[in-house]
Structure 1
Amino acid sequence: MRAKLTYFVTAAVLVVYFFLVGSRGVMLIEHGTAITVTMGAAVLVLPLIGLWFLWANTRFVTKANKLAALLDAEGGLPVDELVRTPGGRIDRDSADAVFAKRKAETEDAPDDWRCWFRLAVAYQDARDTPRARKAMQRAIALHEGRQAGA
C-alpha cells in the first residue's frame, strides 16, 4: 500500500511539474520572437515525453498487478526460494538454481504467461531489473494474446 501511495504522490508531483514547464513553454511561444518560439517549442517537448513515460509505466505496472492478482487467485504466485545471507544479500548459488528452474519451466511452456511472470519475479528478486521487465512484458503480451519477442 505504501508503494502505491508513493507512486501516486510522485506521479501527481510530476504532472504539476509538467504543467508548470508546459506553461513556461507556452509563454515563450506567446512572446513571438524566433528564438523564444523555438525555445518554447523545445520546452513543450519535455513535458510531452514525461507524460508519455509516466503513462507507459503506469500502464505497465497496472497490467503486471492485474496478472499478479490473477495468478494469486489461481494459487500460482511464486514462492521466494532464494537463500539470503544474514545481511540480506541473495546467495548466488541459490539464485542460479531458481533461475534454472524458472527458465526450464519457461522453455517447457514458452506460451504460458504464468511461467514468464514467475521468471520475471525471479529476476526482480535478484535485482536484475532489465531482464525482469522484459520477462514481464512477455507475460503481459502472452496474456493479452499478442506475440512478443523472446
Structure 2
Amino acid sequence: MSVYVGLFLTSFFAATLLPAYSEILFGGLLIQGYDPLALWLWASTGNTLGSAVNWALARFFLRYKDRRWFPFRETKLARAQQWFQRYGVWSLLMAWAPIGGDALTFVAGLMRVRFWLFLVLVAIGKGTRYAVVLWLVFAAQQTAA
C-alpha cells in the first residue's frame, strides 16, 4: 500500500510547483509488476488533485502575483492565457503537458472556471497521460521480450 501512496504523493507534487517526475516512478512500478489499474488510479488521482491546488492558488492568492516567490512567471501565465482564450475550457484537456500544463490549471483558477468542470476536464487529460505511459511501458516490454 505504501508504494501506491508514494506514487500518489509523487504525482500530486508533480502537478504542483515542486519538481517531481511521476511518470518515471509510474513506469518503474509497472515494470516491477505492480497492479497497472491501481497504479493508474493512484497516479491519475494524485496528479489531478495536485492540479486542483494550482486552481485554488490562482483563485485565492492572485494578489501576490508580483512577489518573487510566486510560482508562475508572467511569461508562462501569458502563454497559458493565450491558450485558454483560444480554446476555452477545453484547453484543460492539455493540462497533462509537461510544458505549460501546470500554468493552464493556474489560469483556469484565474478565469474562474467552475471547479467541477475543471476537475472533470483535468482528470480526463491526466488519466489519458498515464494510460499512454502504461501502454508505452507494456509496448516496450513486448518489444524487448
Q: Is TM-score (shorter-chain normalized) higher than 0.5?
A: no
Q: Which has the higher contact order (CA 8 A, sep 6+)?
A: 2
Give the TM-score, by structure 2 length. 0.31
Larger Rg: 1
Give the TM-score, by structure 1 length. 0.30
